[in-house]
Structure 1
């Protein structure tokens, strides 16, 4: 008997497009960008004008967008695992080394 749906993928809860994990990444990314872009725009606008401020703010958003896109929306196809969960496992691997001895 075959299963007609993919059981290993995430449930897309929000309008059938985003999973809850992806929505959290987007929410955190948007809030981080919203916390630093308006003051940055105001400062650069006073110094160099609104066109330069718009360009500078757009460039400053790119690292946050890259991080959110990388961890929230990419998968490691070799392991069929989301990128953030894969990185969490890789980071925890170093803490699992220890000295093992035989017997009690």
Structure 2
């Protein structure tokens, strides 16, 4: 049987938006931009001084920008997962922990009396 090397990486997500962004990344960018568009003008209007308003607007935008960058663009290299999928797995882990037993008959301490 012949083996043929595929010239592209079939395991990574496809960059469908202009060859730069994937759909998942575009959703994070649009959501982060909408959140910033919603609250930055109110932060800017709290202060009469333009310079102070601008500085505090930039400071208040940093956490949203960091979250969008981490969730949308960074990967956990050890597990080959994007951080959003990694955090979803971590959150769902608590639901998977339980008391596991072998057999169909419950133990005495498991039965409510």
Using structure 1 for the length normalisation, give the TM-score. Answer: 0.92
CA distance in 2, matches of 1:53, 1:98: 51
CA distance in 1, matches of 2:45, 2:67: 25
The residue aligned with 1:39 is 42
SS of the residue corresponding to residue 46 of structure 2 reads: helix
The gaps in structure 1 that reach 5 residues or longer are: none
SS of the residue corresponding to residue 54 of structure 1 reads: helix
Specify which of 29, 32, 54 is matched with residue 29 of structure 1: 32
Runs of 4+ in 1 over 6 A off after TM superposition: none
Q: By percentage of residues, which structure has more helix?
A: 1
Deviations 1:61-90 (Å, cap 9, x if unpaired)? 101000100111000111111110011111
Using structure 2 for the length normalisation, give the TM-score. Answer: 0.85
Deviations 1:2-37 (Å, cap 9, x if unpaired)? 222111111111100000000000011000011001
Task: Map residues 1-104 of structure 1 onto 2, 5 A cutoff.
Answer: 1=3, 2-44=5-47, 46=48, 49-104=49-104
Q: Which has the larger radius of gyration?
A: 2
